[in-house]
Amino acid sequence: MGFTARELRSTIESDGRLRLTIDTVDIGDPADDEVIVRVEAAPINPSDLALLLGPADVASLKTVGSGVELTVPEARMGSVRGRIGQSLAVGNEGAGTVIAAGKDAKELEGRLVGMIGGGMFADHRRLRARDVVPLPEGASAADGASLFVNPLTSLGFVETARMEGHKAIVHTAAASNLGQMLQKICLADGVPLVNIVRSEEQAAILRGIGATHVVNSRDEDFDAQLTAAVTETGATIAFDAIGGGTLGSRIVQAMERAAVGRMTDYNRYGSNEFKQLYIYGALDTSPTTLNRLTFGFQWSVSGWLLTPFLQKVGPEVAGRMHKRVLDELKTTFASNYTRTIGLSEALDPEVLRAYERKATGEKFLIDPTRG
């Protein structure tokens, strides 16, 4: 007996074919400390796309049977060697209703919960009771679908800046859901934030929620504007969702220019101010180019990832962050979805191409109850 689930799965074969299918699988009954959740909302985050589509070439997309198939160019196969032949469930986080519970988790039965743990692009999910969070009164599944990734990441940025002694932050792709959360946190916490966007529309979104420093990377005098904003705020840490190209380098350069502007004597090694660029995304998958000769020697460019960050700060800080997300679910951490799709629709080529674009301001929500 037990429950069954329809799960969206991604498999890369050794010949470079990447298959997306919706498989019906037995997920059994909940153990004593487990629950079965009917998934009602799961956001498509960039990190989900990285698992779903890997480094496949989206132009190669074609329908095969009830699934779709894409090709991973041979040069990119090295980065996915570890997953070849494995059918991987996708979807970091979601929300839904507990429809069955083990004997130690009965209090959750019937509750609307948020959850994290992978495999959320499915109509049902079995997981441990401790991996679900009952949503506050009045919150819908859509409200609770993004309890973890964006809220904890944006809070994590501010925690990181504080822990490492920075007084202001630079953020790229800043009009994203995550970026809007970060702006709201920074306003509430009094941390100056320099937002980098690439259109006036995006700038308007941020100004609409109270942003004061917004610079458009497509403006001709972008570097001068950025240097002015970095000088005014004293920002020495940046979080970059883009990763590829020279934008990160230009941010560090602007910080060094601001720091040198505060110096009175020439130093061939540049300023003594430590500048940190964290790359947390890959909206641009091309290599990162660092014009480091303009940085001085006090700089660092690093990867930033939520899970190791939460491990590093420990349960007390993580708990405080979780509590704040629930307390401010409908304000600071409200997500804005531009389109809700069913599970099967996620494999519709036209829909897939739309959410794969990762356009700022666009955000997809999967509601598996729609089929």
- Give the closest residue to 354 by CA, choosing from 113, 44, 81: 44
Residues forming the site for its own copies (CB under 8 A): 50-51, 55, 78-79, 81-83, 86, 88, 243, 249, 260, 263, 266-269, 272, 279-280, 282, 285, 287-305, 307-308
The answer to whether residues 88 and 51 touch, using CB atoms and an 8 Å cutoff, is yes
Minimum distance from residue 52 beta carbon to its own copies (Å): 10
Minimum distance from residue 80 beta carbon to its own copies (Å): 9
Distance CA 15, CA 26 (A): 29
Structure tokens, 106: 């009965």
- CA dist 206 → 203, 311, 357 (Å): 5, 31, 21
Minimum distance from residue 72 beta carbon to its own copies (Å): 13
Minimum distance from residue 291 beta carbon to its own copies (Å): 5
- Give the closest residue to 140 by CA, choosing from 180, 96, 108, 178: 96
Minimum distance from residue 294 beta carbon to its own copies (Å): 6
The answer to whether residues 58 and 102 touch, using CB atoms and an 8 Å cutoff, is no
Angle at 16 between CA 14 and CA 17, to 5 degrees: 105
Structure tokens, 290: 């660092």
- CA dist 224 → 76, 168, 298 (Å): 37, 18, 21
Cβ nearer to its own copies, comparing 285 with 338:
285
Cβ nearer to its own copies, comparing 3 with 309:
309
Q: What are 115's strand-pairing partners?
A: 94, 132
Cβ nearer to its own copies, comparing 287 with 314:
287
What is the DSSP-derived secondary structure letter of residue 122? B
Cβ nearer to its own copies, comparing 280 with 355:
280
Cβ nearer to its own copies, comparing 82 with 138:
82
Minimum distance from residue 334 beta carbon to its own copies (Å): 27
Distance CA 272, CA 252 (A): 13
Element housing 229 (H / E): helix 222-233
Cβ neighbours of 180 (radius 10 Å): 25
Distance CA 9, CA 104 (A): 30
Minimum distance from residue 47 beta carbon to its own copies (Å): 8
Cβ nearer to its own copies, comparing 112 with 152:
152
Conformational region of residue 93, where left means phi above 0, alpha means psi within -120 to 50, and beta covers everything else: beta
Cβ nearer to its own copies, comparing 223 with 348:
223
Minimum distance from residue 122 beta carbon to its own copies (Å): 18
Cβ nearer to its own copies, comparing 10 with 360:
10
Distance CA 30, CA 98 (A): 11
Distance CA 105, CA 228 (A): 55
Cβ nearer to its own copies, comparing 80 with 326:
80
Structure tokens, 22: 């919706």
Cβ nearer to its own copies, comparing 30 with 248:
248
Minimum distance from residue 288 beta carbon to its own copies (Å): 4
Minimum distance from residue 190 beta carbon to its own copies (Å): 28
